[in-house]
Structure 1
Amino acid sequence: MRQEDDHRGAWADRGRRIAAARHAPVVAGALPALLAVAESLVRAASTPPAGSTEGPLYVAVFVLLGLATTLPVALLWWQPAAAALVVSTTVVLSLVAFQTLTVAGVGTQLLTGYRLGRSGPQLPAVLVSTPFPVLALAGPAGGEVRVHILLLASLAPAAAMAGIARRARSEALEISAARRMIADTLVEHTARGERARIARELHDVVAHHISMVAVQAETARLATPGLPAAGAERLSAIGDTARAALSEMRGLLGVLREDATTDPASRQPQPGLRLRELNALLDESRETSGTGTRLILSGRPATLAPGLELAAYRILQEALTNARRHAPGAAVDVELHYAHDALRLLIRDNGPGPPTAAAAGGHGLSGMRERAAAVGGELRTGPAAGGGFLIEALLPGKDETAS
C-alpha cells in the first residue's frame, strides 16, 4: 500500500511539473487541435457532399468545428471558466447544427469540465455539463452522433464532479495540515514557556538556597573562633561544593533557556508582598550575610495582582542574592513605594558598585528584567548615589481591592 501511494505521488508530481512547464498551454491546445483537424479531414474525404462545388466549404466547416472544440483548451491555465464555456458551446453547436463531433472534441469537453471543477467556480462546472443530458433526453439523430451525445451525457457531469471532489479533498488536506501545524506550534510554544518558567524557578529558588549554603559555610569558617583545622577544611569543602553546584546549575539553566521564549509570570498563589513574607525574606538575608538589611515602605500598601506580587518578590529575592554574591558584607536597603497605579521597587547596597562585565553577564539580571517585562514593567540597574549598586524596578499595577 505504501509503495502504491509513493507511485501515485510520483506520477502526480510528474504531472504537476509538466503542467507547470513554460510551453504546456501551447502544447495542450495544439495537440488536440491537430488530432481534430486530422479526424475532420478523414471524415470529409470519406463522406463527400453531393455537389462538387460544396466540397471545399464542407471540408472547411469540418476543420473549423474541430479547431473550435479543441483550441480553447489552451486558456485553461488562465481562464478555466471561459475555456469550458467556449468548448461546451461549440461542442453543442457541432452536435446539434452539423451532426458531427471529433473524438478530440469529446476529450476536450471532459478535460475542461474537470479542470473547471478542480480550480474554478463549482456552479459553472456543473452548468457546462448539463446540455448533454438534455440532448440525450431529446433524442436527436442516431448513429455516431448519438453515441457521442450519450457518452458526454454520462461522462461530462462525472468529470465536473470529479474535479469538484478533487478540489474539496485538496482543501481538506490543506486545512488538516494547517491544523497540525498550529497544534505543533502551540505544543512547541507551551514547551518553551514551561522551560523558561522552570529555569526561572530553579534560578530564583534553588540557586538562592545553594548560594546561602556557600555563604553560610564561608561565614562559619571565618567567624568561629578556635575552629579545628579539620572542621575548617570541611566547611571550606561545603562552600566549594555549593559553588560547584551553582556552576553546574548555570550550565543547566543555559540549556533550559536555549530557544525558550519569555513566558508570562505564573498566576499560582506563590509568595507575594505581604509584610510577613517580606520580613521572612529579609531575615533570611540578614542571617546569611551577617549584615544589615532594612525595609522601607512608602505610600499606601495595597493588595496587587498575584502575578505582579510574585514578580516583585522574585526580583527582590534575586537582588538580595546578587548583593550577597557581588558585595559580601554590604548593607542593603529595600524600598517599596506604592503609587496609585504603579509599584516602585528599589534595592540599594553600599558595596563596591556595579558588578564586573563577566559577573553581570549571568542569568540573574536578565531573569529580573524578564520578570519585570512579563508584567509590563521595566528594570534598571546602575551605580547608586553615594556609592554602591542600585536595582530599580517599576511595575504597573492597581489595587485589586479597589472597586
Structure 2
Amino acid sequence: MDRTYDPRIVMVGAPLVLLAVIESIGHVRGPAGPDLAFVLFAVATTLPLVLLWTQPFAAALVVSAAAVLSVTGFQALTVAGMGAQLVAGYRLGRTGSPWAALPLAAPFPILALAGVEARTITMVLACLAPAAALAGIARRAHGDAAANTAARQVIADSLLEHTARGERARIARELHDVVAHHISMVAVQAENARLTTPGMPPAGAERLSAIGDTARAALTEMRRLLGVLREDTTAGERPRPELTPQPGLRLHEVNDLLDEARDASGTGTRLILRGSPVTLDPGVELAAYRIIQEALTNARRHAPGAAVDVELHYAGDALRLFVRDNGPGPAATSHGHPHEDDHEGSRKNGHKDSFGHRAGHEGGHGLAGMRERATAVGGDLRTGHAAGGGFLVEASLPGEAAG
C-alpha cells in the first residue's frame, strides 16, 4: 500500500477546502447570515483530504460521514464536498481496502432511493461515488496484475537461466570426463605406438605423430569450449577464462598470420588485396582465414624455401582467394601431365598435407579440410598447378557484406 506523502494533496485539497468555505459562507439560512454549522460541515467534507495519502480509510470515512450529515441535516452539499467525496472514494479503492471503498459510497444510492430533499445532489453522488470507488479498485487490480505478470516473468527467466546453466554444466562434465579422456588416450597411444613399435617405417611414424598432434589440438579447442560452457556456472568461483574472438579477414589478423609464416619459413610471403575490402559474414571470414592458414602450413612443410603470395579479391558478390607458392608444384599423373585440379592434393617430391599424410591418390586431409570449409559456407575450392609453376589453392566464397 502506498503510504508516502504526495505533493498533489496540496494541489487538490487546498483548492477544495477554499472552495467549500466560499460556497458554505454563501449558503444563507435566514436573516442571521451564513450558517456556521453548515460551514463546519463543508470544511469537514474537504479538510480530511490532508490524510488521504497516509490514512486513506480514515480520510474517506470522515469525508463520507460529513457529506451524508450535510445532505440529511441541511439538504445541501457544496460542489467542493462532492468533489472531495469522489477523490476520497477513488483513492481508497486505489490504495486502501477495496472492501471499504464501496460501503462508504453506498449511503448515497440509499439516500436517493429514500427521496431526500437534495434530490439532485444525491442522484449525482449515487451514480458517481460508487463509480469512483470502482475505478480505484480497477486501477489497483490492473497494477497488481501487471506486478504479478512481471514477477512471473522474472521467475520464468530465472528458471530458464538456471536450467540452461545446469545443462551447460552437464555438457561440460560429459566433455571433460568422457570425450576429453578418450581424446587424450588417442594422443598417448599414438605417441607410444610411434616410440615403441620396432621397425616402423618413417611414413608410419610421421602419421602417428600427426595423429598425436591432432588429438592435442582437439584437446586445446575442447578446453576453450569448456571455458565458455563453464563461464556462467563458475561465476564468482574462479577467474573468467580469457576468450578471444574467432579470427577473420581484418587486415591486422591476416598480416599477423603472414608474419608467423614468414618467421617460421624464413622466406618471402606477400599479401595482395584487390577490390574494396568489406566485412563479410563471420563464418565466411573464418573459413577464409583457416584456408589461408592451412595453405601456408602446407607450403611451409612441403615446399620449404618457396615464396608464397596470398591474394584476396573482393569482387562484389564473391570473395576470390588465391594462395600460390613457387615450389615444385603438383605431381604429374602416370602419363606425365600435370594434374590441374588436384582434388586428392598430390604434390611432387612426396608432398604431404598439413597433417603429415601423403597427398597422392591416398587423399590429403589438409586439402580436404580446406575444401570442406569452403563448401560449408557455400563456396568451392580447387587446388592444382599454378601458372608459371608452383602450387595454387583457389577458393571462391560468398562475398556479401555482413548485415
TM-score (norm 1): 0.55
Which of 145, 150, 162 is residue 172 of structure 1 equivalent to? 145
- Distance apart, 1:95 and its partner CA: 0.9
1:3-402 equivalent positions in 2, closer than 5 A: 23-41=7-25, 43-44=26-27, 48-51=28-31, 54-55=32-33, 58=34, 60-141=36-117, 145-260=118-233
Counterpart residue type for residue 75 of structure 2: Q
Q: 1:189 to 1:261 in 2, by over 3 A?
A: farther
- Distance apart, 1:206 and its partner CA: 0.8
- Distance apart, 1:227 and its partner CA: 2.0
- Distance apart, 1:226 and its partner CA: 2.3
RMSD: 2.1
Q: Is the 8 A contact 1:72 1:87 kept in 2?
A: yes
Deviation per CA, 1:346-366: give whole Å up to 9, x if none: xxxxxxxxxxxxxxxxxxxxx
* Other-structure match for 1:390: none
Q: Is the 8 A contact 2:5 2:54 kept in 1?
A: no
Q: Tell me which protein shows more helix as a share of its residues.
A: 1
Moved over 6 A (4+): none
In structure 2, C-alpha distance between the alignment counterparts of 1:261 and 1:249, rounded to whole Å: 17
In structure 2, C-alpha distance between the alignment counterparts of 1:21 and 1:88, rounded to whole Å: 22
Q: Is the 8 A contact 2:75 2:116 kept in 1?
A: no
Deviation per CA, 1:139-192: give whole Å up to 9, x if none: 111xxx321110001111121122222222222222222222212211111111
Q: Is the 8 A contact 1:196 1:260 kept in 2?
A: yes
Identity of aligned residues (%): 64
In structure 1, C-alpha distance between the alignment counterparts of 2:108 and 2:6, rounded to whole Å: 34
Deviation per CA, 1:177-233: give whole Å up to 9, x if none: 222221221111111100000011011111111101100111011101222222222
Q: Is the 8 A contact 2:41 2:66 kept in 1?
A: yes
Q: 1:49 to 1:166 in 2, by over 3 A?
A: closer
Deviates more, 1:166-175 or 1:200-209: 166-175
Partner-residue secondary structure (3-state), 2:77: coil
Deviation per CA, 1:117-154: give whole Å up to 9, x if none: 1221222211111111111011111xxx3211100011
Counterpart residue type for residue 171 of structure 2: I
Q: Is the 8 A contact 2:180 2:219 kept in 1?
A: yes
In structure 1, C-alpha distance between the alignment counterparts of 2:144 and 2:159, rounded to whole Å: 22
- Distance apart, 1:49 and its partner CA: 4.0
Q: Is the 8 A contact 1:36 1:66 kept in 2?
A: yes
In structure 2, C-alpha distance between the alignment counterparts of 1:50 and 1:108, rounded to whole Å: 27
Partner-residue secondary structure (3-state), 1:258: helix
Counterpart residue type for residue 121 of structure 2: H
Partner-residue secondary structure (3-state), 1:114: helix
Partner-residue secondary structure (3-state), 1:128: helix
Q: Is the 8 A contact 1:217 1:238 kept in 2?
A: yes
In structure 1, C-alpha distance between the alignment counterparts of 2:35 and 2:120, rounded to whole Å: 23
* Other-structure match for 1:282: none
In structure 1, C-alpha distance between the alignment counterparts of 2:79 and 2:234, rounded to whole Å: 64
Q: Is the 8 A contact 1:196 1:261 kept in 2?
A: no
- Distance apart, 1:28 and its partner CA: 3.2
* Other-structure match for 2:296: none
Q: Is the 8 A contact 1:196 1:256 kept in 2?
A: yes
- Distance apart, 1:100 and its partner CA: 1.7
Q: 1:23 to 1:171 in 2, by over 3 A?
A: closer
- Distance apart, 1:62 and its partner CA: 4.1
Deviation per CA, 1:343-394: give whole Å up to 9, x if none: xxxxxxxxxxxxxxxxxxxxxxxxxxxxxxxxxxxxxxxxxxxxxxxxxxxx
**Where does the alignment leave 5 or more consecutive residues of structure 1 unmatched?**
1-15, 263-403
In structure 2, C-alpha distance between the alignment counterparts of 1:22 and 1:157, rounded to whole Å: 24
Q: Is the 8 A contact 2:17 2:43 kept in 1?
A: yes
- Distance apart, 1:249 and its partner CA: 0.3
TM-score (norm 2): 0.55
Counterpart residue type for residue 24 of structure 2: S
- Distance apart, 1:20 and its partner CA: 6.7
